[in-house]
Amino acid sequence: MNLIEFSKKNMLVLDGAMGTMLQVGLSATEVHLAYLEAGANVILSNTFDDRSDEHIAKAVREAKAAAKDYGAFVALDVAPTGELLAPMGSLTFEAAYEIFKCQVLAGKCAGADAIYIETMTNLQEARCAVLAAKENCDLPIFCTMSFEETMRTFSGTDISSMALTLTGLGVDFLGINCSVGPAQMKRMAEELLRWTDLPVIIKPNAGLPDFEDGKTVFHTKPDEFAKEMAEIVELGVSGIGGCCGTTPEFIRALAHIAGLRPRALRQIPSAVCTATKTVVIDRVKVIGERINPTGKKRLQQALLERNMDYIVSQAIEQVRAGADILDVNVGMPEIDECAMMAGVIAHVQNLVPVPLQIDSSNARTIESGLRAYCGKAIVNSVNGEQASLDEILPIVKKYGAAVVGLTLDSHGIPKTAEARLRIAEKIVEAALSYGIPKQDIFIDCLTLTASAEQAIAYETIKTLRLVKETLGVKTVLGVSNISFGLPARTKLNRVFLAISMANGLDLPIIDPNDSDMMDAIYCYHQLTNIDTGSGAYIERFGTMEQAQVAPMEFDLPYCIRSGLREEVVSATRQLLARVAPLEIIEQILVPTLDAIGKQYEQGEIFLPQLLGSAESAKVAFELVKENLPVSEAASKPCILLATVKNDIHDIGKNIVKVVLENYGFSVIDLGKDVPVQEVVRQAEQHRVRLVGLSALMTTTLDTMEQTIDAIKKIESGIQVMVGGAVLTEKIARTIGADYYAKDAIEAVHIARSVFADLG
């Protein structure tokens, strides 16, 4: 019996912490045997921190040998790379893919029964690892991510986005591990079960840690852990285990509550997402149409020049006007559409929070866009021709996207609603046969131009109604096509939109800056009681004079907030022509960064937007610095950063570095796995006032304490701030740190206080 078949009849009981057990002096084989004897039926290879082929092969074989007599399964444990993926960091998607590919191949060759991707905090990195597994082996795939108590990862991904993306991508088991204990993880499990129909795996820590007598201590007892996990099991999860701080006693307690529990079928909502935002299609949602070069000379020029700032500005303006989803079409004869699609998506998704619709009929372009896209996108489109269905639908399925089906075939657009319905039925049947769920199939009933085909233009409305009543899928229309060639186009568009919504239109593709069109949608939601209590209607129309969306002003603060680096250069140079450099820093740059930092702290923006703004601000700072008089261009306060010895994960430290530098501090980055004496030597050599230390793993907190002790013996007044997933304010005080930085913005506040006397 393979793992998939076994999981359908049995609760999966996974092992507990490997590092916790290795610390007490056991070998990896002894750890495996202890967990197997406790009742685990799935164990993970000891490969979280070593990804060399030789180590992977040895570790998997050791685990297989231990599991043989227990009839248990062995999963190759695949951890995060420890680096930030581009554009936030320097590790490209392709380079990360190769890292994961090598691990997967080594694990497969060594006889692993499954691939277990765990402790992911960046959704794009999780996608990369899953694709590497899917494309290089046929083993079952687990993927679990780690969420903070805010129900988001440190990079801002929420549970719905994770679930929609990875469910669509085709993992076999989906779950949550690490960060918190079972009490905190229960509501995370509840949320995850709302958004996936896959078997769900839950592996919490043994509660929240403390640090006592030089050791990381978890106070939750095995029976308490099992009692809290029993409540999670009752929710309908399919696998349970333990993460940091759990031991064989914890797994033995779990095995006693892991009876057969049939999984109830769950219906996933119709939704698309980015890494940080989910859009549920439960009412009319607007797809912005403006990133499409057809008839737009300025956008055509921007594409030819690869002017990403202009394209991003179009995206930002549409979101500001109320678009829920953005259509992205880059098809022009003069450009490489495949490469351009990937490039535009990479830039737009990093700075704009809403989901994207990849608009092309070219299979290579669609796949290029989907591979770059972090989230669950819409593909626009396929049609009723068999060749189109056979070419596009497998790509849609592979990447877990939603798909738009056009009601046309080799004979063109049928003149009657009934004929269009027959094409829609063919598309839906084909999509279902490829495993694309019904909630991810959208039908475009096709808007004909009323000036040219007035006699049959209304057939589109009839088709909408028939598709809704007969097939029960979501519908799409490019609304403004109706009015081409006619005067007063907005009036005709608005009436056509209203009639379409009343007959089942879910996703109008329109220009959201057309306030008449947006007004019609708010009115429709009020009249149909979708806007219960008229809250959205009153918010939009509550004043006597309706507020219009003001045109964007490309001033420096706006350009920094939006991450528009080329526009930052232009805006900064314009300011330098009339404003003193120091005044620009003190009255514009620093206040703008402070406002962005406040938005980040309040959860209004997330890590990609924070880093995009910070990098844009850096461009402005450098330009201004070039124009400062020598007396004012004093050297920057210097901060030393390091990830402590035996810890190879420095994502958090790298983020802190970027943000500190863009707030005007000089940073010496020693990297990861830095010996205690090297930190001390560098601190003395550079005469720093502030050292920042990072740790991800509970097993390296003692090294952090040793590093702090050694720094304090220098007797030069150096202060130490610490941060990382395993740290808390209490632990920071316990190990002797002066400050605890929960995130990069807090690190800035600390640095400012330390260097306050420098002005």
For the stretch 270-306, pLDDT in tens is 999 999 999 999 999 999 999 999 989 999 999 999 9
Where does the pLDDT of residue 553 fall: very low under 50, low under 70, confident under 90, or very high at 90 and above?
A: low
Tell the CATH topology of 3-255. Answer: TIM Barrel (3.20.20)
- Quick: pLDDT tens for 83-140: 889 888 889 999 999 999 999 999 999 999 999 999 999 999 999 999 999 999 999 9
Beta pairing partners, 592: none
Which residues fall within 8 angstroms of residue 135, CB to CB, at 6 or more apart?
Answer: 101
Q: Can you tell me the distance from the alpha carbon of 153 to that of 122, in angstroms, rounded to the nearest whole number?
A: 7
CA distance 550 to 537: 19
Q: Is the pLDDT of residue 552 over 60?
A: no
Sheet strand arrangement including 638-643: 666-669, 638-643, 690-694, 719-723, 739-740
Of the candidate ranges 259-263, 364-368, 481-485, the one whose mean pLDDT is the lowest: 259-263
Mean of the pLDDT values across residues 57-81?
97
CB 35 within 8 A of CB 13: no
Of the listed ranges 231-235, 382-386, 541-545, 715-719, the least confidently predicted one is: 541-545
620-648 pLDDT tens trace: 988 998 887 765 555 678 999 999 998 87
- In the prediction, which pLDDT does 544 show? 47
Do 349 and 157 meet the contact criterion of CB atoms below 8 Å apart? Answer: no
Nearest to 707 by CA among 726, 725, 694: 694
Mean pLDDT for 680-695 is: 94
The single residue listed with the structure tokens 């420095």 is 650
Q: Supply 744's token pair.
A: 């990069």
With 90 as the cut, is the pLDDT of residue 492 above it?
A: yes
- Rounded to the nearest integer, the mean pLDDT of the chain is 93
Alpha-carbon span 162 to 127, nearest angstrom: 10
* Helix (H) or strand (E) segment spanning residue 111: none
Identify any residues that bridge with 358 across adjacent strands, giving them in sequence order: 328, 379
d(CA 638, CA 531): 54
d(CA 275, CA 294): 29
Cα–Cα distance for residue pair 102/106, rounded to 1 Å: 6
Cβ atoms of 721 and 600 within 8 Å: the answer is: no
Helix/strand/coil for 445: coil
Query: For the segment 497-530, what is each residue's pLDDT rounded down to a tens digit?
Result: 999 999 999 999 999 999 999 999 999 999 999 9
- The three-state secondary structure class of 13 is strand
What's residue 264's pLDDT?
Answer: 63
Residue 93 is encoded by which pair of tokens? Answer: 């998607």
Q: Are the C-beta atoms of 168 and 130 separated by less than 8 Å? A: no
Count the alpha carbons within 13 Å of 226 in the hemisphere toward its beta carbon: 16
Quote the distance between the C-alpha of residue 193 and its chain's center: 18
Q: Reduce the DSSP state of residue 217 to 3 states and report it.
A: strand
Q: What is the CATH number assigned to the segment(s) 556-626?
A: 1.10.1240.10
Q: For the chain, percent helix, then strand, then coil, each to nearest 5?
A: 50, 15, 35
DSSP 647: -
Retrieve residue 196's tokens.
């996936």
Distance, in Å, from the CA atom of 568 to the CA atom of 669, rounded to the nearest integer, reads: 27
Torsion of CA 231, 235, 241, 243, to 10 degrees: -80
Interstrand relation of 209-212 and 215-218 (parallel, antiparallel or unpaired): antiparallel
Task: Please give the sequence-ordered ranges of beta strands (E in DSSP) within 565-709, or none if there are none.
Answer: 638-643, 666-669, 690-694
Query: Domain 638-758 has what CATH class?
Result: alpha beta
Return the axis-axis angle of helices 182-195 and 159-169, rounded to nearest 10°.
50
CA-to-CA distance for 447 and 462, rounded, in angstroms?
Answer: 11
CA distance 175 to 198: 9
Q: Rounded distance, CA 200 to CA 174, Å? A: 5
Token digits for 635? 């050297």
Q: Tell me the average pLDDT across 296-317.
A: 96
Token pair for 44 = 């993970």
**Rounded to two decimals, what is the model's pTM?**
0.92
Helix (H, G, I), strand (E, B) or coil at 240: strand
pLDDT of residue 633: 52
Is residue 337 within 8 A of residue 303, CB to CB? The reply is: no
> One-letter amino acid identity for 31?
V
- Look up residue 104 and give its two tokens: 């997967």
Higher pLDDT, 77 or 83: 77
Q: Where are the domains of the chain?
A: 3-255, 271-540, 556-626, 638-758
Which pLDDT band, with edges at 50, 70 and 90, does 44 fall under?
very high
pLDDT exceeds 70 at position 547: no
CA atoms within 13 A on the CB side of 421: 16
Are 556-626 and 638-758 in the same CATH fold?
no
Residue 541 token pair: 């129309």
The Cα–Cα gap between 509 and 200 comes to: 36
CATH of domain 271-540: 3.20.20.20
The dihedral through the CA atoms of 367, 82, 614, 164 has a sign that is positive
Question: How far apart, in whole angstroms, are the C-alpha atoms of residue 476 and residue 498?
Answer: 14
Tell me which amino acid residue 549 is: V
